[in-house]
Amino acid sequence: MSAAIVALASGQGRAGVAIIRVSGEGAGEALSALAGNVPSPRRAALRRLADPASGEPLDDALVLWFPAPASFTGEDVAELHVHGGAAVISAVIAALCALPGLRLAEPGEFTRRAFENGKLDLTQAEGLADLVDAETEGQRRQALRQMQGELGGLYDGWRARLVSASALLEAEIDFPDEDLPDGVASRGVCAIETLAADIEAHLADGGRGERVRDGYRIAILGAPNAGKSSLLNRLAGREAAIVSPIAGTTRDVIEARLVLAGFPVWVADTAGLREAVDAIEAEGIRRALARADEADLRLWVVDAGAPAAVAPRPGDIVVWNKADLAAQAPDGAMPVSAATGQGIEALVAALTERVASELGAREAPALTRARHRALLEEAAAALRRALEAASIGAELAAEDVRLAARAVGRITGRVDVEEILGEIFARFCIGK
C-alpha cells in the first residue's frame, strides 16, 4: 500500500455536506487520530472531529471506514462527511496533512491507485472521468456503461482471441515437420479474418460514441439573407447571431449548443454562400464550407421569397424559410418561418429524431475516444498485414498478430502502459 493521500472528493464551494477522502497506508490511524475509534467497516458513524495537535473541535461528521481491499482504490480508505463550508474543509484537511506520512493527492491519484490495484481498467477509468463530466442523459448512459466495464470487456475479449490465434500460428512455427492436428494454422488465419472484420466494423461506426462525448454537429448553410442566423437564434432560443437585412452580415462561424434526445448538439451558423465581396467574407465562406464538410448533418436554408439552388447531400435537410411570406414549399423541403416560429417545432422534432437514431444506444458499446481509435487502427493494420503474410509463412503472421494483441491490450491497460498513465490521470480533478 502506498503512503496515504488526502483530498476533497466532493465539489468545491459551499454545500450541505463535503466529503474528504483518505487512501493508503495510515488512513486508519489518521481516522482514529481525528475521530477517536475507527467504526466497523462500511458503517457510517457520527463522530466529533478534533485537531489531534491542539485538541480543538473541528466539526461533527459522519465517518466511514473501508479497509483494503474492499474500497474504491483497493487500499485502506477513510471518508469524512463534514459540513460543507470552506473553513471546515480546510481545517480538517490541514489537520490530516499535519499527520506523519499524509499528503494532498495529485489530480486523478485515487483513480490511478484503483487502476494499479486492479479495481478498474483504463477504459473504466476513462468512463468514470466521462461520468463526472456528463452533462446530458446520453452522455451519462454511455459513460456509465463504459465505467461498468462493457467496452473494456469487448477489448479484453478481442485481445484474448488474438493471443489464441497467435498461439495457433506459433504451433505451426514450432512444429513445422510434425503432424499437427488438421488445419491448425488455417484455424488461426480464420480467427484473424473474423477479428479483423469485427474490429473494422467497430471502427466504422461513424464516430457515434465520440459524438456522444463531444456533440453531434449540425451546420446551417445557404445563400446570404436566407435567414440562417434567424434560424440559429430560433433553435438556440436566444440572440446568438446578428440578424440583419444586409447580405454578408455573418462572417465567422457562430455556434450554439442544444440538447436533443439527451445528446449534446452543436448548431453552427455560417456565412452565406455567394461570390465574396471582400477577403474577410471569402474567409468566412471558406470556413462555412469546411464546417459543412465536418458536420454530421447540414441544414440548407432557402429563402421562400427568392429561392436559390442548394446542394444537399443525401440525408441533409432543406429548410424552406420565410414561409410566412411566400409560396408552398417544394417536395421534401420543410416549411418554416424563423421570424414567426411557424414550422420550428416540426423541424426540431425532425432533428431530434435524427440525432436519436444516429447516436441512440445499440447492443454493442461504442468507440468513445481518439486514443482507442488510434490503437484499434494500429491493430487492424497489423491484422491486415498478418493476413497477407499468412500465405508466405506463419512466422511473419504470428509477429503481426502479437503486435495487434499489444495494441488492443494497451487500450484497457493490460500491457506496457506506463507512458500513457500520466496523460490519462492528469485530466482528472483532484479528489477523484
Taking CA atoms, 340 is separated from 119, 155, 319, 331, 345, in Å, by 56, 51, 15, 22, 12
Q: Of the candidates 73, 124, 139, 230, which one interacts with ligand GDP according to CB under 6 A?
A: 230
Which of ligand GDP, Mg ion, none binds 124 (CB below 5-8 Å, type-dependent)?
none
- Output the smallest distance, CB 259 to ligand GDP, in A: 23
Stretch that binds Mg ion, among 58-66, 177-185, 250-258, 367-375 (CB under 5 A): 250-258
CA 356, chain centre distance (Å): 17
- Output the smallest distance, CB 302 to ligand GDP, in A: 10
* Binding of ligand GDP by 325 (CB under 6 A): yes
Which of ligand GDP, Mg ion, none binds 291 (CB below 5-8 Å, type-dependent)?
none
Stretch that binds ligand GDP, among 130-138, 223-231, 311-319, 358-366 (CB under 6 A): 223-231
* Binding of Mg ion by 321 (CB under 5 A): no
Q: Of the candidates 111, 139, 229, 233, which one interacts with Mg ion according to CB under 5 A?
A: 229
Which of ligand GDP, Mg ion, none binds 108 (CB below 5-8 Å, type-dependent)?
none
User: C-alpha cell of 166?
Assistant: 497467435
* Interatomic CA distance for residues 51 and 228, integer angstroms: 63
Q: Of the candidates 84, 227, 284, 413, which one interacts with ligand GDP according to CB under 6 A?
A: 227
Q: Of the candidates 8, 19, 243, 408, which one interacts with ligand GDP according to CB under 6 A?
A: 243
* Binding of Mg ion by 166 (CB under 5 A): no
3-state secondary structure the chain: CCECEEEECCCCCCEEEEEEEEECECHHHHHHHHHCCCCCCCCCEEEEEECCCCCCEEEEEEEEEECCCCCCCCCCEEEEEEEECHHHHHHHHHHHHCCCCCEECCCCHHHHHHHHCCCCCHHHHHHHHHHHHCCCHHHHHHHHHHHCCHHHHHHHHHHHHHHHHHHHHHHHHHCCCCCCCCCHHHHHHHHHHHHHHHHHHHHCCCCHHHHHHHCEEEEEEECCCCCHHHHHHHHHCCCCCCCCCCCCCCCCCEEEEEEECCEEEEEEECCCCCCCCCHHHHHHHHHHHHHHHHCCEEEEEEECCCCCCCCCCCCCEEEEECCCCCCCCCCCEEECCCCCCCCHHHHHHHHHHHHHHHHCCCCCCCCCCHHHHHHHHHHHHHHHHHHHHHCCCHHHHHHHHHHHHHHHHHHHCCCCCHHHHHHHHCCCCCCC
Stretch that binds ligand GDP, among 103-111, 321-329, 395-403, 404-412 (CB under 6 A): 321-329
Stretch that binds ligand GDP, among 29-37, 159-167, 241-249, 363-371 (CB under 6 A): 241-249
* Binding of ligand GDP by 249 (CB under 6 A): yes
Residue nearest to Mg ion (CB): 250
Size of the site for ligand GDP (CB under 6 A): 20
| Residue indicated by cell numbers 445557404 | 222
Nearer to ligand GDP, 16 or 237 (CB): 237
Nearer to Mg ion, 229 or 337 (CB): 229
* Binding of Mg ion by 250 (CB under 5 A): yes
Q: Of the candidates 111, 123, 146, 337, which one interacts with ligand GDP according to CB under 6 A?
A: 337
* Binding of ligand GDP by 240 (CB under 6 A): no
* Binding of ligand GDP by 245 (CB under 6 A): yes
Nearer to ligand GDP, 199 or 221 (CB): 221
Nearer to ligand GDP, 139 or 230 (CB): 230
* Binding of Mg ion by 142 (CB under 5 A): no
* Binding of ligand GDP by 368 (CB under 6 A): no
Stretch that binds ligand GDP, among 66-74, 319-327, 406-414, 423-431 (CB under 6 A): 319-327
Residues that bind Mg ion (CB under 5 A): 228-229, 250
